Amino acid sequence: MAARLFARRRDGRVEVRLSDEGRAFVAATAREVAAAEGDPGHAWGAGLHAPIDPGRDADDPLAILSRQSDLASNAELVLATLAEATLSDAEAWAWFCTLQVALRSIAVANGLLDDDAWNARGGSLVEHVQTLQALLFELAKVL
């Protein structure tokens, strides 16, 4: 059986069992989310700044500003807690949200929006997406 990447401890904190390579992957992902947030021309921009529910807040600048603030705050919190052995629920949620935003942004930027597009891709992009998915599934188990 594969080792769990995250575990809920008795004290309620989330233990991070990632290797140095795993932490470097999460760091690169969080840095990319933070960079995309600050650069409207970034390849992830369309996925990052699109409204979650287009019917509700596409034209509401306050909702857009709030969402952008949350994205930047979460990515910054991930970077600040990257070396920690354990995370609070809020910190673990920031990790989850940041990885989820990155996954969505990669899918939109690369047109991975259906099975045909996914099957046509290969190589490092597919590995990257699968790694993000694995981290998200593991983290979701403890949240």
- How does DSSP classify residue 44? T
Quote the CA–CA distance of 95 and 139 in Å, as a whole number: 8
User: pLDDT grade, residue 60 (50/70/90)?
Assistant: low
pLDDT at 66: 58
pLDDT at 20: 95
How many Cα atoms within 13 Å fall on the side-chain side of residue 110? Answer: 20
Parse the chain into domains and list their residue ranges: 6-142
pLDDT at 47: 63
Q: Pick the more confident residue, 123 or 72.
A: 123
User: pLDDT grade, residue 109 (50/70/90)?
Assistant: confident
Q: Pick the more confident residue, 6 or 122.
A: 6
Considering only CA atoms, which of 134, 30, 136, 18 is closest in space to residue 85? 18
- What is the pTM for the complete model shown? 0.80
